[in-house]
Amino acid sequence: MPPDSEGATLDASADAAPATNRHRGFDWRLLIGVLLLAPAAAGTWWTIEGLEQRRVLRTELAEISHARYGLLNPDRWVEKILPILNAQVDALDWKAKDQKNLRPTVVNALYRLLDDIKTKMSTPPAGSSGGLLSQGNAMMANMMIGALKPHVPEYADIVLAEMARPETKQGARNARVSARPCR
């Protein structure tokens, strides 16, 4: 055999060997590709679902914000209720005959207020062991309430006199106008 033909035979057998080895083993690149494709597909699916949910929420928000849903708008409620309240306050007439009817109600309200203050001041704060300071606080509250209770009828007269002033009505109206709902 000529030397050229032997070299050609050796080269051909060397090229054929790696080709047969490649087909005999497991193709790891295919497995890795499939394993990476699965999370990518799941992530895509979750993104599409999330965008759909977001679209539904935005549609619902747009419907609620629409003018026909004005019942849920606190500013619209203030616009409707404020004239009614102003008319009611203007209709109140604090003459002497009305004050006689209101006096027992104001006296009872002041007594209830003092009782509530006494209850809140006498109870020890949460987490307190009820030591000397807590007992001192209760004693001071009881002494103050005891000193104020005999004067409640006088305070009721003062409250009724203040309610009869025109400045009080105007102040009540201004307070209602400035008390806008929080967002």
Using the predicted structure, report yes or no on whether residue 14 has a pLDDT greater than 80: no
Window from 43-47, 64-68, 80-84, 117-121 with minimum mean pLDDT: 64-68
Task: Extract the tokens encoding 177.
Answer: 């106008």
Q: Please give the Cα distance from 116 to 121 (Å, whole number).
A: 8
* 87 and 11 together in one domain: no
74-83, 120-129, 144-153: segment of lowest average pLDDT: 120-129
| Any domain includes 46 | yes
Average pLDDT along the chain: 77
* Residues 122 and 138 sit within 8 Å (Cβ to Cβ): yes
Same structural domain, 126 and 161? yes
Confidence grade of residue 130 (pLDDT, cut at 50, 70, 90): low
- DSSP 3-state of 60: helix
Q: How far apart (Å, rounded) are the C-alpha atoms in residues 155 and 152?
A: 5
Note whether residue 183 is domain-resident: no
Mean pLDDT for the stretch of residues 161-182: 71
Residue 108 domain boundaries: 73-178
